[in-house]
A and B are shown apart, each in its own frame.
Chain A
Amino acid sequence: GENVEQHPSTLSVQEGDSAVIKCTYSDSASNYFPWYKQELGKRPQLIIDIRSNVGEKKDQRIAVTLNKTAKHFSLHITETQPEDSAVYFCAATLFYTGGFKTIFGAGTRLFVKA
């Protein structure tokens, strides 16, 4: 089955700096990669996603890159702000006959220091 590894587990940056979170996946058949942000005690919420036919996607201060050959994908947050502090999860979605399954990484706890 699919396995998603995420690094680092904790990341501390100064406000205004960039943050990068990296993930790898095991099943080359996975073709959809969402990223979720979870604040303490809240539900995970989608912040950006990328499909396997695209190498990069940007949305304001957030960008994701995907290297299908290496089975790597990354989240980049520029000009970080204190409100970016949260846990971020990468995920890989595997489609099979009749359905699909989304497998999550273990999460990265991001601290943005003012």
Chain B
Amino acid sequence: GAGVSQSPRYKVAKRGQDVALRCDPISGHVSLFWYQQALGQGPEFLTYFQNEAQLDKSGLPSDRFFAERPEGSVSTLKIQRTQQEDSAVYLCASSPSPGRSGNTIYFGEGSWLTVV
């Protein structure tokens, strides 16, 4: 596709419900990131994949958050037993390579999660 695609764009979940957010990166992009953006804040790093390997999950706020990218392309961010504080925009981003000289990351439009 032309850009990073995320679905659903909007999700309302009842507290305690599980949600799954999907990211389809730019074709051929090796690196994939998930960020959480609360209202009025900057994107906060959650996790990073290089192909199918999850190299960094230091930003995941709790063990209720889980991400996978089993075939090195599409990724899913799963949030179990959602809480109100999970309400945010979840941004996926991808980058062409893990290169060492500076890599631009390209964002999707985000999945807006509201927990009620």
Contacts and interface: CB of A to CB of B under 8 A. Distances in A.
A51 B101 contact: yes
Q: Is the interface of A mostly helix, strand, loop or mixed?
A: strand
B98 interface: yes
Taking residues whose C-beta sits less than 8 angstroms from the other chain, chain A's interface range is 20 to 34
B25 interface: no
A93 interface: yes
A43 B31 contact: no
9 contacts: A43-B107, A51-B102, A93-B102, A98-B98, A99-B48, A100-B100, A102-B33, A107-B40, A107-B42
A12 interface: no
A84 B31 CA distance: 30
B17 interface: no
Given A89-B42, A98-B50, A98-B55, A49 B91 contact: no
Interface of A: 1, 6, 31-32, 34, 36, 42-46, 49, 51, 89, 93, 95, 98-107
Interface in B93-116: 98-110
A104 B103 contact: no
B101 to A, nearest CB: 7
A32 B43 contact: no
A101 B45 contact: yes
B41 interface: yes
Contact of B103 (A1, A42, A45, A100): A100
Given A104-B44, A107-B41, 6 more contacts: A31-B102, A43-B91, A43-B107, A93-B102, A100-B48, A101-B45
B56 interface: yes
A31 B101 CA distance: 8
Nearest to B44: A104
